[in-house]
């Protein structure tokens, strides 16, 4: 699998792209069912990470929650897009998911970790890149991700509390596709005005010299590490660690 020159240009200029047909219908159904099952279990056990005024939930640390999530870590249809933005030695920062419940309001605009904590101007090249793996068709009505194409070129962050932008787009894309974007694109989940949950898997990556958000090196379960190929180990960060004493 590869990335075309036109796709590279779109990522450079717009900062975002939809990669079609990454997941099969069977995979979509399997992942959606499993994420909703884990979300319910986490609610019952009191460990749920609820958000959006209790109208949304994150299920995080997916590699530790099932072998089925291994496939997302080094997916051949998606890796070339991350490599274009972050270089050939990029690493995984998080592997998580986002459920937007009916009634959820628009989220607040943000850029992704680590950019939110950096001074402006933000770097002129991508440090982090995010990808949403759509387990439902995304529409402007059901929480389709709001984003501002091209704003990464301005190297600015949304002022705290920003909820609108004149150039905003609400993502419309088919389930099974992946919406991949430069982390400097202002974005947020949209309001869900339908009666069905909107579900996405999220694979968030960074350059090898950026500190990832999740410490896979120390907290990946032994069985998940055992299943990892050399490329997956690199993505989990094992090849980009600070050195131990001589």
List interacting residues with ligand AKG (CB under 6 A).
Answer: 98, 112, 130, 132, 145, 187-189, 200, 202
Q: Write out the two tokens for 165.
A: 């932008």
Q: Write out the two tokens for 213.
A: 């958000």
Nearer to ligand AKG, 34 or 101 (CB): 101
Q: Write out the two tokens for 182.
A: 């430069």
Q: Least distance (Å) from ligand AKG to the CB of residue 75?
A: 17
Nearer to ligand AKG, 130 or 182 (CB): 130
What would the DSSP string read from start to end of 116-163? GGSPSSPPSS-SEEEEEEESS-B-TTBTPPEE-TTGGGGT--PPTT--
Q: Least distance (Å) from ligand AKG to the CB of residue 169?
A: 12
Q: Least distance (Å) from ligand AKG to the CB of residue 190?
A: 7
Nearer to ligand AKG, 143 or 237 (CB): 143
CB atoms under 10 Å from CB of 179, counted, come to: 21
Nearer to ligand AKG, 74 or 202 (CB): 202
What would the DSSP string read from start to end of 45-80? HT--EEETTTTEEEE--GGGS-GGGHHHHT-TTTHH
Q: Least distance (Å) from ligand AKG to the CB of residue 140?
A: 12
Nearer to ligand AKG, 126 or 228 (CB): 126
C-alpha to C-alpha distance for 63 and 59, rounded to whole angstroms: 11
Q: Least distance (Å) from ligand AKG to the CB of residue 120?
A: 19
């Amino acid at each position: 699998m590869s990335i075309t020159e036109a796709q590279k240009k779109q990522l450079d200029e717009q900062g975002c792209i939809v990669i079609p047909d990454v997941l099969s219908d069977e995979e979509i159904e399997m992942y959606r069912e499993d994420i909703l099952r884990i979300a319910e279990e986490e609610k019952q056990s009191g460990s749920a990470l609820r958000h959006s005024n209790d109208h949304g939930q994150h299920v995080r640390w997916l590699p530790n929650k099932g072998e089925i999530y291994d496939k997302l870590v080094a997916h051949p249809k998606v890796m070339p897009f991350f490599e274009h933005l972050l270089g050939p030695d990029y690493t995984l920062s998080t592997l998580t998911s986002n459920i937007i419940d009916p009634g959820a309001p628009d989220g607040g605009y943000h850029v992704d970790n680590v950019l939110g904590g950096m001074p402006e101007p933000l770097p002129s090249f991508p440090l982090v890149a995010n990808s949403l793996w759509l387990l439902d068709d995304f529409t402007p009505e059901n929480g389709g991700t709001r984003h501002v194409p091209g704003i990464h070129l301005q190297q600015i962050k949304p002022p705290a509390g920003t909820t609108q932008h004149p150039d905003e787009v609400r993502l419309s894309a088919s389930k099974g596709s992946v919406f991949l974007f430069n982390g400097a694109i202002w974005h947020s989940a949209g309001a869900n005005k339908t009666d069905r949950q909107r579900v996405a898997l999220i694979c968030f990556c960074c350059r090898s010299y950026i500190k990832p958000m999740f410490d896979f090196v120390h907290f990946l379960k032994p069985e998940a590490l055992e299943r990892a190929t050399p490329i997956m180990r690199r993505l989990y960060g094992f090849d980009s660690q600070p050195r131990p004493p001589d």
